[in-house]
Structure formats: structure tokens, C-alpha cells
Chains A and B, each alone.
Chain A
């Protein structure tokens, strides 16, 4: 009897303790203020210093705090005025003179002027600058063409370039070109990265590590107050956690929805799914130096053999489109609309392989990554590609690496290691990717990304010329011609262009994704 009593008391108290802990406390959950937008980000930000930042994850916050001299016009990758009202380019394309907007102040109250602009570029580019040590500035090479920044008067600033460099304007619109408050850098020095001050529509309020970066409305914004009183960016690294947080109402906006969950949100009237094609290309680098891909017919065969339509529909669940050539369609003016993707044609692939002397099949090594910036779903994509290639007689042995290790394998060049490797790039200018990865001058030993050793003097000449041309129509013609040649030469297998996506709750208004992959929240409202 006493045993049962003791036993019962024990059980009862344990049960009571267990139940008391969670169920008594549901009221502790406080509501988000109605005009504050909570954004689910993919990672903890690294820095609030735009010149130090390299990740899109950081850029999504930064473009709401800071502004550049120019910006991408909504919905395009075309450059329009921002902190600069207008600009002139000298005939030889080496002098850019900007007229700055009058009456703009940084969040710390100091004025925005030509001196401030000069400070920004000098800090990044000049190793003798007293505050250069607040770096490193990994993407400062975007502006390596700048020889000198000259203050003409309070509201006029002039850049002298060491050679004509057509992507200059679009690089200024990139987050690395955002303008920071010189006073804030001088005051906080190394801690500026966590105490930012810009001129943007939102002012920095607080950064609690691994919890939130909170911004609040800039009531003195030169272009009118934003509708939102504040924005909170929450780092939610795990994609599934981000989805469940969205479903349970903990965030109003989430970026990078996993392909498997896209339909779930698209079909639920409580949510709005946003998609926008970006300047992204997912491709396979082919080693043009060693067999079997030293033969253009084998490279074309690989392009015919891979069922890209099936990859984007089945593996990526419609979160990407089929790529036709090296320049993503999102570039608009620079994209050659006449270019059709290689069709899925295994018979044609077999013919080409036979012509090249590979009737009995070919063997190669295929480098695959477990994941990485812009790589989408690399492992399933790798195995699907492997199966398509096997069907036409190319036996690709997959070797999988973690992202940093993978880059360390691929970037120094594929020679002696592999015949093909996955790769993806997101760029802001049609010049960047081909210039860094398709020119003869851009071989790995020269510090470029041409890891497959593609070389065509015609392409080299077109790219050099496009970089010097300041007229956009002329640049467009050159890039479009380049795309035709590169598609024919097939140094890569052109696979997919990613459509970035985001989900908002139905009460978020005026939100749209930008082709630049930036998250502009100036006009967004929450009802």
C-alpha cells in the first residue's frame, strides 16, 4: 500500500512539473507592432559596412540604410540617379563627373557632399588612407579603375579612371558603391561595421547578434518618409525553420523559399509568392584542354544530352528557367533574344560523340558541390546530369566537395583533376562573368576564373571592345555577338537561370523583388 502511494505521489508530481512549465505561459508572446515588417533572412549578417560586405544577405539590409550615387531603376538593371542628380562622361570614357543632390544629410546629421564621396572611395582604394585599416574591402576591385577622386566643389565630384571601363556606372549602383558617413567611420573606426550611418530611408537602431537587426523610419529622408515605421531582419539559417516561422506568423517576409515549399505558399491565399529572374547563371565548366571535352563536338554533345527543361521543372520545381547562353536574360539590353537554348536531343548528342570518335563512350570526372552561393540544389542536379550523360555514353564520375573546398579545387583550373565542374554566378553587369571567366587572359594562372581554359581570340576582342564602349547600344551589339560565338563553342553547358523568390503575408503591400537581388523596402507598407 505504502509503495503504491509513494509511487503515485512521485508520478503525480513529475507530471505536474512537466505540465506546469510550458502550458502556463502562452501569454508571454507579444505581438509585432502593425507597421513593423519582420524579414526572415538566410544568415546572421557579417557587417553593416557596405564596403566590407560581400554577401547578398548583408546587401538586403544595407540598401535600406544607405544609398549610392546611382541605383538600379526599379525592375531593371539599368542605372538611374540616386545621390547624384546627373553625370557626364568624357568622350574617351575615362572621366566621370557627378552632380550631387543638395540638402541630403547622413543619419548622424552630417551633410552629404563631394568630400564625403571622396572619403568613401579613398578609404577603400588608398592603402595609405588613415582608415583603410577598417577593411579589408574584398570587392574594392570593382573600383580599381579609379585613379583619383577629385572634389570639384561642394556638390560636384569627379572620378578619373586609368582606362575606359564601361561597367563603372553599374558597379557604382552595386552595394559596394553605397556611401557611408565619414564622421561615423571616424567616430567608431573598427566598430563602424556595427554602428552604421548612411542617407537611406531607414536608420539603424540595433543589432542584437543572432536575434535581429532593427531599422527604423528615417523621418528626415530626402525623398519622403517610408510607410513602414521599422524593419526587423531576423537570421534564420535553416530553410525549414524559415518556412515554419513563416507559416506560424513569426515573420512577414521570407527570402529564398526552398523549391519544395514554393507550391505550398503559392496555393495559400494567406501568402503571396514573389518571383523574379535575376542575373544568375548556373552552368558546367568543361575542361577544354583535356579529352574528352577538348573536342568542341563532345562539348556540344553534353549540351544536347542534358535535359535542362526537366532539371528546372523536376529538380528545381520551377524556381529557375533554362539558360540559352552565357548572358542571363535579366540583363535585358545585353541579352541576345534570338539565342535558343540547346534542345534536349540525345540522338544528336550520340551522333556528335560518334563523329568525335567516342562511339564506345567517354569517361570523365565531374566536380559537384554540396551547396554554396547561388548553387541551388547542386547534388540532385549533379546526379540528374550524370544520368543524362550516361544515357548518351558519357560516364561521369561524381566527386562531391563542401563549398570552400570545392572552390579551392575548381578556381585554380580543372587540368589533371576533372572534365567538368558545377558553377554559378550572380553579377551586376553583363561584362563581369564573361570578362572574368571566358577570356584567354583570364586563365587561372593569370588570376582569372577561366577554369576550363576556353580561348577564342574573337571573343577576347569583343569583350575588350565592349568594356571600352561607353554607348550602351554599341555594348549591347558586342555582347550579343559574343553570346552567339560562345554558345557555338560550348565551353560550358548552359543550364539554368535562377528565379529568386520570396513570400510575404497577404497584408504586405507594394513589395516586389528586383533583378538585382536587392531587397528595397522604401515603398513597402503593411496593413
Chain B
């Protein structure tokens, strides 16, 4: 198991390398460059050339990439020219909030998705099932940024229960309560679609498992229904559900880009949006690398959990 994990981790390196090359190329290929972005209306060819020279953008592309790569190997992600600070500082500072937001959304979608799925499976075609199914459909079909705006309108502007955005109060104590208070709306908005997906697939998997012979055997043995559902059905269904939750982890990490913009969450998604529009290539690189690395890690963890849950996979 440990060997497997280490092998998978080693594979991360070529993946990240490949991603960095692609990001570098794509950003260099789209028209407009940092100098134009900095100068805006004053971007005369003369000024652009001066700024490009000072930023080292007049060097050939492969050389620029090599300079960056050498820096990375020495632990230096370069300096962001749109923010005038080291990329590493900014990326690290922004990654924490994204992890908190995505983590909270993942927690919500796992808990409520599993719950809704299990409940509607054991009540198949009953009223609970119908209500859950409709709710799940509505949830899946609502774009998260729209839901975010609506949540702000109802709960922040209308009722005044929650802040409209940000991660902490300006003059607050910065404690956990303050964080949770700011986290509730964005995490909910981000979790809704994923919850729907988890609920649907949990229901389908539960239904399948509940029809298996060993479930009938368990019931025939006279086990209590709760135990049959939890131990025999749910745990077996979980083997197929865990990878779906893993995919949702990636999904909420990606969806954080919209939600962070709507709720002014100081995370890495919003940073990337700004960095791309200002053509801040080093900042984009730094951000994408961190996000990509976490994707790879999430996949690894998902696989490991699956292996732990399903002894059959261990033999392979």
C-alpha cells in the first residue's frame, strides 16, 4: 500500500511539469501581454517595449520558461508583476481560503448527498423519494454563481443574517465563529450541485445493493433493518460512491472560481481570474501548479480510500 502511494506520488512530478509547459504556452499564445495590461490606454509600442524589457519578456519564450523552471527548482516561483510581490507568498496566502471553502462544500455535499441518497433509496417511490428527487434535480440544474447571488439577495441584503462576502469581519476577532458565519453562504452555494450528484448516485448504488442476495440473507437472518442498511448495504455501496465524491472534490475546487468571485472570497480561484486578465504569467503558473497538485493528491487519496474499503482491490 505504501509502495503504491509513493509510486503514485512520484508520477505527480511529470504531470506537473507537463501542466506548467501547457500553461506557459497557452498564456503566451493568447494576444495581449503584461505590458499592455499594465499600460492600458498608454500602451504605445515604445512604452510596451520598455516595460517588456524591464520585465524580461523580450527574451525568447523557451529561455523565459527555463529561467522560471530554474527558479522553481530552487524554490522560487518568481515575482508577480501585477501584485508586486513574490508569487509564492500570494499563492500560499490564497490557497488556504480556497481549501477552507472547498473543504466545507465537500463536507456539506458528502453529508447531505449521502443522507438524501440513502433516504430516498430506502423509501423508493415514496413521498420522501419524490421530494428528494425533485430537490436534487433543481439543485443540479441551478448554476452555482446564480444561486450565490440569490443567497446574498435573500440572506444578506434581505434578512441581514449573513455577510455579503469576504472571509472575516473587518473589525472582528477573526475567530472560528466569524469564519463559519462568512463561510455558510458560499459553501452552501458551492455544495448544492455536488450534493445533487452525490445524492443521485448514492440512491442508484443503494438501490442496486439493496436488491442483492446477501441483503436478503441478512434480513432473513433477522438482523435489524438499520443494521442491514448501514452495515450490509451502505458500506458496500460506498465503494462505488467514494470515487464520485473524489470527483466532486475536484469539481468544488474548480467551481470555487465562480463562488469566490461572487462572495469576494480571498481564494486562489479569484486570484487566477485576475492573473489571467492581467496576463500575469508567473502568478497563473504558481496558482495552476498548486491547484493541479491538489487535484492529483485528491485522486490519490480517493484511490487509497477505495482500496481500504474494498479488499478485492488490494490483491491487484
Contact = CB atoms under 8 A, between A and B. Distances in A.
Interface of A: 2-3, 5-7, 10-11, 14, 17-18, 21-23, 25-33, 38, 43-44, 46-47, 49, 52, 54-55, 135-136, 138-139, 141, 190-191, 193-194, 209-212, 232, 234-238, 240-241, 244-245, 247-248, 250, 372-374, 402-405, 407-409, 411-412, 424-426, 436, 444, 447-449
A30 B163 CA distance: 11
Nearest to A211: B266
Interface in B36-62: 36-47, 50-51, 54-55
Nearest to A5: B226
A357 B274 CA distance: 48
B50 A136 contact: yes
Contacts of B311: none
B177 interface: yes
Contact of A2 (B83, B94, B226): B226
Interface in B1-59: 30-33, 36-47, 50-51, 54-55
A236 to B, nearest CB: 6
Contact of B31 (A21, A29, A47, A404): A404
B122 A30 contact: no
Interface string B158-201: 00111111111111110101101100100000000000000000
Interface centre among A14, A25, A402, A444 (most CB of B within 10 A): A25
B264 A238 contact: yes
Interface of B: 30-33, 36-47, 50-51, 54-55, 79, 82-85, 90, 93-94, 111-112, 115, 119, 122, 149, 152-153, 156-157, 160-173, 175, 177-178, 180-181, 184, 224-226, 229, 261-264, 266, 270-271, 274, 277, 279
A412 B55 CA distance: 21
Nearest to A11: B119
Contacts of A447: 44-47
Contacts of B161: 22-23, 26
B178 A28 contact: yes
A212 B55 CA distance: 27
A29 B226 contact: no
A6 B226 contact: yes
B225 A373 contact: no
B32 A194 contact: no
Please provide the 4 A-B residue pairs with the shortest distance between their CB atoms, ordered closest to farther: A404-B32, A210-B266, A6-B226, A136-B54
B82 A136 contact: no
A46 B164 CA distance: 24
A54 B39 contact: yes
Contacts of A250: 163-164, 166
Given A29-B178, A209-B93, A244-B152, 11 more contacts: A5-B226, A7-B122, A10-B115, A28-B169, A29-B169, A32-B170, A210-B271, A404-B32, A407-B32, A426-B41, A447-B47
Contacts of A49: 84
Contact of A408 (B36, B51, B162, B225): B36
29 contacts: A2-B225, A3-B122, A5-B226, A7-B119, A7-B122, A11-B115, A11-B119, A23-B161, A25-B177, A25-B178, A29-B169, A46-B82, A209-B90, A209-B93, A232-B170, A235-B264, A240-B149, A241-B152, A241-B264, A244-B153, A245-B165, A248-B157, A402-B277, A405-B32, A408-B32, A408-B33, A411-B43, A444-B45, A447-B44
Contact of B262 (A25, A238, A412): A238
A47 B170 CA distance: 21
A237 B180 contact: no
Nearest to B104: A21
Contacts of A212: 170
A65 B31 CA distance: 36
Contacts of A43: 274
Contacts of B157: 244, 247-248
A224 to B, nearest CB: 27
